[in-house]
Structure 1
Amino acid sequence: MSESTRVVVVGAGAIGSFYGAILKRAGCHVSVVLRSEYDAVKANGFRIDSPLGDLSYRPDAVYRDGDTPEGEADYVICCVKVLSSIDRGALIKPWVSDNTRVVLIENGIDIEREVADALPNNPIISCLAFIAVSRVAPGEIEHKAFGALTMGSWPEGVSEECRAIAALFEAGGIDVKRSEAVVGERWRKSLWNTPFNPLSVLAGGADTVTLLDTPGGEALARAMMAEVCAVAAADGYPMPEDAIDKNIAGTRKMPAYINSMALDYLNGRPMEIEAILGNVVDIAHRHGVDVPRLETMRVTFAMREVLGDKQA
């Protein structure tokens, strides 16, 4: 837990800059790689307003894509969106040496394999972030709530490298759950994300109250969640029998919530359709599980793309 731990954050948007701040507060040497906003961050660093206090910081180095790294990284943390247009393995590779551990703080299911195939000699640590954070201006981030991480070595276990980075995040002030079966944790998060995120987009950016209170809405969400449960069980990660009821009850307790994919849609940003929906359908095909509603939703997005809706 000192400056001897060198971290490179690839994709320092709202998520990446926040977790970079946490590691900086823990005493790490933190560098960032940016695809945009380089000039603003190079000049002023990050300004982060947070319930945890002032997390503003200047990275120890600021790079553009294609720059040459100075020194070797102990950890490379990838926080870019999981999109078919982004080759994450190629994006990370310049910053990885023989002894670098790769940390993925990203959404979706089965999102590790692409990176592991590109970097077969580097351990993968997979993380799920539970956080409300957004970019409000170049280099300016608003952290509204939460921030906890669930992490584990991929495909299973909790390695010493995983325990070490978890301890650094905790030293920086956030809670970390270490999981021996991080794929199972991804399935549990997918139980909600896979139906609700794409469905909200197909409903024009609808919030959770609209989705559940529209006649037939809750029944449709439950049916889609049941399909996710069936795929997860076939993949070796069965859900508790009350998982759907608990998720629906929890969603109903929330105020009207517009999820991150709906916000991406409403703001014309690329969406992680394949990572969150398409990969579940692909896994269903591998196991021979019938998922007609999820399949229909995926095909609908494909049609939208053919018709020129580039947001999809």
Structure 2
Amino acid sequence: MVYSISIFVSETQSAMKFGGKIGIVGAGALGAFYGARLYRAGNDVHFLVRTGFELIREHGYEIRSCDGDFTIKPPVYSAPEDLGKCDLILVGLKAFANHFLPEVLGPLATPNTVVVTLQNGLGNEETIAEALVKCGVHRSVAEASKQIIGGTAFLCSNRVAPNVIIHSAHGFVRLAEFQGSPKERTFAVAQLFLDAGISCEVRESLAAIRWEKLVWNIPFNGLGVAAHQADTAVILADPELRTTAVEIMKEVIAAAKVNGVDLDERLVADLIGKTEIMGHYKSSMQIDFEAGRPLEVEAILGEPVRRAQQKGFSAPRMHMLYALVRRMDQLRQSNLENSQSRSS
């Protein structure tokens, strides 16, 4: 079910106002873009920055967007202790960096803090709940889970310098509570995005929006690496790769179904159409691979395969893509470590 934000505002307008402190954790291509849009809209947004801190503190962020270029100079911090407690935390970390979450969230969160994750793949909400317990903010995973909102962002953006984000297409966000049905706060968070000029929907099922995003993420992230520097235009222009992408998309829909999520098969054509207007867009996984960084292999490729197989569905195409990219990631990281060892 998709909820109408405009109707909800007219009925509970006072409940829709969110004036608290917002912390951005993972200020990369996704986190910095949405954080910048929220900041430009007048919200109290603070950025936790690990790469390019001095540059960003001095010059701010430059957003080169298909919706219009702008620059901001928001408050930035190199340590979570300096940023301090937040009312809302927006997590944009790459999933392979989730092991940092306990040390990051501890100084930022209170028992009343709402944590919104727009990370890719499956399993991030569970990891955040465990991190909130490990750092002592909550006493149990069940308690922590009530403070988490999951979301997906269909966004074409790349960080070309520590403080420069290029936004080339799309950007809509979908939100759902990790536990239970949407609450007033869910709509309040959605309204933040809407007021910042970002299309945003509230959904009943987090699982549905996660699997829906995976219908695109699995083939285009995976093939972007496995097919050797294959951006979206390359994949769609090659008949064999295009057919492979479509077949994987259909298989993801089947995997979602055995996990209790019914997705319309017309989603495949819809997402192919959205991809065709992206041009030569590189997925985040392709960019990370080419830059020698770790990949979100498990969250985007591995966990969906495991959940499908736990339900008795073998997901052969998804499994093969996962195996290939996992091996390529392992070899790349091993080669980098050996190279660094020799140079030192």
Q: TM-score, normalised by structure 2?
A: 0.80
The residue aligned with 2:117 is 104
The answer as to whether partners of 1:108 and 1:276 remain within 8 angstroms in 2 is yes
The residue aligned with 1:171 is 195
Structure 2 residue 82 is matched with structure 1 residue 58: no
The residue aligned with 2:47 is 32
Residue identity matched to 2:127: E
CA distance in 2, matches of 1:192, 1:134: 17
Gaps of 5+ in 2: 1-15, 133-140, 337-344
The answer as to whether partners of 1:269 and 1:311 remain within 8 angstroms in 2 is no
Structure 2 residue 82 is matched with structure 1 residue 78: no
The answer as to whether partners of 2:295 and 2:329 remain within 8 angstroms in 1 is no
Instruction: Return the offset for 1:245.
Output: 4.4
CA 1:238–1:310: 2 relative to 1, 3 Å:
farther
Structure 1 window deviating more from structure 2 (234-243 vs 47-56): it is: 47-56
CA 1:50–1:235: 2 relative to 1, 3 Å:
same
Give the alignment's Cα RMSD to 1 decimal: 2.7
CA 1:130–1:223: 2 relative to 1, 3 Å:
closer
Instruction: Return the offset for 1:66.
Output: 5.0
Structure 1 window deviating more from structure 2 (119-128 vs 31-40): it is: 119-128
The answer as to whether partners of 2:151 and 2:209 remain within 8 angstroms in 1 is no
Matches within 5 A, 1:268-287: 268-287=292-311
Residue identity matched to 2:89: V
CA 1:253–1:290: 2 relative to 1, 3 Å:
same
Residue identity matched to 1:39: E
CA 1:85–1:95: 2 relative to 1, 3 Å:
closer
The answer as to whether partners of 2:81 and 2:108 remain within 8 angstroms in 1 is no
1:293 to 298, 303, 317: 317
The answer as to whether partners of 2:174 and 2:200 remain within 8 angstroms in 1 is yes
Instruction: Return the offset for 1:149.
Output: 1.2
CA distance in 2, matches of 1:8, 1:65: 12
Instruction: Return the offset for 1:102.
Output: 0.2
Q: TM-score, normalised by structure 1?
A: 0.87
The answer as to whether partners of 1:22 and 1:55 remain within 8 angstroms in 2 is no
CA offsets per residue over residues 104-162 of structure 1, 9 Å max, x none? 12111232111122223341111211222222323232333332211121145222111
CA 1:170–1:85: 2 relative to 1, 3 Å:
closer
CA distance in 1, matches of 2:328, 2:299: 17
Count the aligned residue pairs.
Answer: 310
Residue identity matched to 1:5: G
2:27 to 12, 15, 20: 12
SS of the equivalent of 2:167 reads: strand
Matches within 5 A, 1:210-221: 210-214=234-238, 216-221=240-245
Residue identity matched to 1:75: L
